[in-house]
Amino acid sequence: MKKSSKPTLLLHSCCAPCLTSVFEQLKDDFDITIFWFNPNIFPIEEYNRRLKELKRYCKIIKTPLIIGDKIPEDANSWHLLTRGLENEIEGGKRCKICIKMRLLYTGKFAEENNFDYFTTTLSISPHKNSYMINNIGKEVASKIYNKSFDSAQDDDKHVVTFLDRDFKKNNGYKRSTEICKEFNIYRQKYCGCGPSMGKIQ
């Protein structure tokens, strides 16, 4: 998977706006591949619009993009996992399950394809709890590590590491809005799932 001397990073991106300044912060230190896995996004028209915009921005920054989810299969799995939590507050149990699902898929793909690190753009949002997101990421990495070494034949087996960052620090979010204006990037008005519609994110 290595294309340079930099460590490889699989960067889960929820949308083009969140990718903007996160990519800017990481590009000098990592060989980055963008990973799209967002079966929570509803309706399908919004899902397609965000993915199309992400594809456009990845071409601008000349960075590879991998589409990791299968719609509607993974969307149905997301709904099953979050059933009964429709009235949870933003940032509550539903969000934790959603983030864990997406990071688990990202982490597994990163480990299976020999990336050095994986992380997510989600912490760029001022409405997202970076501490919670990073704890989920580290928990996912720990599970992958333990599962990997349970069946390992030697100590050289590759295991991926979660990159713990709060991308909103140092005006990260402000910078993302500037880049969006520069490239006329569509900025959505809600996180993604049906219950979050109408709630400014």
Domain span at 13: 8-196
Query: DSSP class of residue 161?
Result: E
Strands 8-12 and 161-162: unpaired
What confidence tens digit (pLDDT) does each residue in 75-117 have?
A: 999 999 999 999 999 889 999 999 999 999 999 999 999 999 9
Contacts of 12 (CB under 8 A, 6+ apart): 35, 36, 37, 102, 103, 106, 118, 119, 120, 121, 122
With respect to residue 175, please indicate whether it lies within any of the assigned structural domains. yes
Report yes or no on 2 lying in a domain. Answer: no
Map residue 21 onto helix, strand or coil.
Answer: helix
> For the segment 163-181, what is each residue's pLDDT rounded down to a tens digit?
999 999 999 999 999 999 9
Q: How far is CA 195 from CA 7, 72, 102, 180, 192, in A?
A: 38, 18, 17, 26, 8
Place of tokens 């992380």: 119
- The phi, psi pair for 2, rounded to 5°, reads -65, 135
Task: Confirm whether 3 is domain-assigned.
Answer: no
pLDDT at 28 over 90: yes
Question: How many independent structural domains does the chain possess?
Answer: 1
In angstroms, the CA 97 to CA 199 distance is: 19
Residue 4 has pLDDT above 50, yes or no: yes
Is residue 155 in a domain? Answer: yes
Residue 1 located in a structural domain: no
Backbone angles phi, psi at 32, to 5 degrees: -100, 140
CATH number at residue 138: 3.40.50.620
Which alpha helices (DSSP H) does 61-195 contain, by range?
Answer: 73-82, 93-112, 130-150, 172-183
Residue 115 lies in a domain: yes
Instruction: Tell me the pTM.
Output: 0.92
